Amino acid sequence: MPSETSLSIGDLARATDTKVETSRWYERVGVLAAPARTSGNYRAYGSEHLERLSFVRRARDLGFSLDQVRDLLQLADDRNQSCDAVDRVAREHLEQVERKIADLKALRHELRDLIGQCCHGTVAECRIVRALAPDRGAA
Amino acid sequence: MPSETSLSIGDLARATDTKVETSRWYERVGVLAAPARTSGNYRAYGSEHLERLSFVRRARDLGFSLDQVRDLLQLADDRNQSCDAVDRVAREHLEQVERKIADLKALRHELRDLIGQCCHGTVAECRIVRALAPDRGAA
DNA sequence: ATGGACCCTATGGCCGCTACAGGGTCAAGA
DNA sequence: TCTTGACCCTGTAGCGGCCATAGGGTCCAT
């Protein structure tokens, strides 16, 4: 009984805070199913698309890659299986995030060192410039 | 008096731990000057290129964008000017890094919450999946 | 009938490379 | 001298994840 809401791509965009082009892109790369078309060839989305796109956006906001999102969607569709696989994807992503944080902290440390050495003279004697050119390096 | 070392692009690559294609790319986008050519049209780099490329690589390792690297190079070349401008570029970058760290920490927090809720049942009742689909949301 | 808001497809751009394909060059060994 | 193989050249396409055009078509209100 399709008393379904029919949403244009613009409606969908507003409802999910997504650009119109992004929905089309998601359709192309297979994270959002191609919807029915109107007689004028407009995309006509139903509530299932709205849910789907919201899911995708939320996952993207959480930093999951589109590949991971595809995995999560597939997993989420198989309602009877154990959610351990979902948990695994999330944990894997958490690990990536943690690695990135660690990397950035190391970076921050180096940058702070660098900046701390700047004595505000001329470039010729600038420690930052020297530190970047490794032969006249840290010596 | 050019008793200069003449390096092939491969030599340069080995010396700076850079891919051959990357040097060519840097030349295209103007962070590495086009070197002289041999009779066989091979690139012949001098020590100035080696220094330059090392600088670029080090700056990139520190997460500076190519635009920022271009700025730094230009600043580093004008040896008489105050190095405040260099300092500014570095500080700006440090701020970007700090913002990114903060964002990733917030993300980590959300992910940890999410994962903590997984009760290892079936997908149908998986909290992670529910949290991602915002209508049946956190309620 | 007309205007303007919307929609369509196709294509190119962003960043910072990387990886081909399809050639040319060069030095060492047989 | 010829051949092999390592190197080099240019040009183009691809990655992820979209965003922004160009050049059209559609729909609805006036």
Nucleotide nearest to A69 (CA to C1'): D17
Gap between the Cα atoms of A50 and A15, Å rounded: 8
ipTM value: 0.83
Q: Do B129 and A76 make contact, defined as CB atoms within 8 angstroms?
A: yes
* Residues shown for chain B: 139
Taking CA–CA distances from B52, the nearest residue in chain A reads A133
Higher pLDDT, B14 or B81: B14
Domains within chain B, CATH numbers bracketed = 1-62 (1.10.1660.10)
- Return the nearest residue to D8, CA–C1': B42
> How distant is the Cα of A38 from the closest Cα of chain B, in angstroms?
27
A42 touches strand D (CB under 7 A): yes
The band of B125, judged by pLDDT with boundaries at 50, 70 and 90, is confident
Contacts of B125 in chain A (CB under 8 A): 83
Measured between CB atoms, does B102 come within 8 Å of chain A? no
Pull the structure tokens for residue B45: 């780099």
Instruction: Give yes or no for residue B84 having a pLDDT over 60.
Output: yes
Lowest-confidence segment of B2-6, B19-23, B62-66, B91-95 by average pLDDT? B2-6
Nucleotides of D under 7 A from a protein CB: 7-11, 16-21, 25-27
A12 CA, D7 C1': Å apart = 55
